[in-house]
Amino acid sequence: MRYYAILMTRLSIVATPIGNLEDITLRALRILKEADIVACEDTRVTKKLLSHFDIHVPTVSFHANSGQSGFDKIIKLLEEGKNVALVSDAGTPGVSDPGLELVSQVREKLPDIKIETIPGASSLTAALAVAGLRVPSFVFYGFLPQKKGRETLFKEIAGSERASIFLESPHRIMKALESLNKACPERRIGLFRELTKMFEEHLIGTPAELLIKMEQDPNHQRGEFVVIVEGE
């Protein structure tokens, strides 16, 4: 009976809105309603989303600081036959978050569990769609390291023929532009913030041009950024 239950059990990797709540898919809503439990970065954030769509499913915290006990907790739920929906605060789990490692561990420890992807909003593809930059191929770095290896990556970006895309916080965006200004001052850069939200903004220019614009109006520095560095 336990083996049969595992065969029926599923881990659903569910993309959630990156800003505008209308960007969730009908399939995602159905999967969340059918789940026995929703594993999420911040239960407060996810409960707001679930409440908005009148979904009443228990949540459990699972984030980058959960450690191995966090992975063990989700694996135990799956072993018990629970259908688990994994979400991040925004976008698709597994991109710059521990969802990637969770899927890896589930595949290793519970090979008979069904793992399914429920695609949807992504800040990466949303930015690419409106960039208008030369991006026939690209390298995605996720969030750059805060200290160790950071400048080495900027040198790598400067020497790449491919476009480079990374995520950046409002606290480090100016430093990132300063580094790009040193490494590749002639390249066009795209900054995309608050995607799908009321104050969505796209800024395109050289690093120096963007630094001036950002310094003139600190409002440009708010929100998380998708940064696209045009290829050579």
pLDDT over 90 (residue 96): no
Q: For residues 100 and 167, state if they share a domain.
A: no
Q: For residues 132 and 94, state if they share a domain.
A: no
For residue 203, the number of C-alpha atoms closer than 13 Å in the C-beta half-sphere is 23
Q: Name the residue with higher pLDDT: 65 or 136.
A: 136
The parent domain of residue 59 ranges over 2-118
Helices (H) and strands (E) in the chain, counts: 9, 10
Give me the sign of the Cα torsion angle 22, 28, 33, 35.
negative
Q: For residues 98 and 135, state if they share a domain.
A: no
pLDDT digits (tens, 9 = 90+) for 161-201: 999 999 999 999 999 999 999 999 999 999 999 999 999 99
CATH code for position 191? 3.30.950.10
Q: For residues 101 and 190, state if they share a domain.
A: no
Rounded-to-5 percentages of helix, strand, coil across the chain: 40, 20, 40
When pLDDT is cut at 50, 70 and 90, the band that residue 37 belongs to is very high
d(CA 154, CA 171): 17
CB atoms inside a 10 Å sphere around CB 204: 16
- Lowest-confidence range among 20-24, 90-94, 185-189, 194-198? 90-94
Can you tell me the mean pLDDT for 143-170? Answer: 92
Q: Choose the final residue of a domain: 89, 118, 147.
A: 118
Q: Which residues contact 195 (CB under 8 A, 6 or more apart)?
A: 18, 19, 123, 126, 127, 226
d(CA 198, CA 186): 31
Q: Determine the pLDDT at residue 3.
A: 53
Structural domains in the chain (count) = 2
Q: For residues 107 and 147, state if they share a domain.
A: no
Q: For residues 10 and 65, state if they share a domain.
A: yes
Q: Choose the final residue of a domain: 70, 98, 118.
A: 118
Q: For residues 112 and 187, state if they share a domain.
A: no
Q: For residues 145 and 107, state if they share a domain.
A: no
Q: For residues 7 and 109, state if they share a domain.
A: yes
CATH code for position 95? 3.40.1010.10
Q: For residues 97 and 143, state if they share a domain.
A: no
Q: For residues 53 and 128, state if they share a domain.
A: no
Q: Choose the final residue of a domain: 118, 139, 166.
A: 118
pLDDT digits (tens, 9 = 90+) for 114-144: 999 999 999 999 999 999 998 999 999 999 9
Q: Determine the pLDDT at residue 196.
A: 95
Q: For residues 140 and 180, state if they share a domain.
A: yes
pTM of the model: 0.88
pLDDT over 60 (residue 54): yes
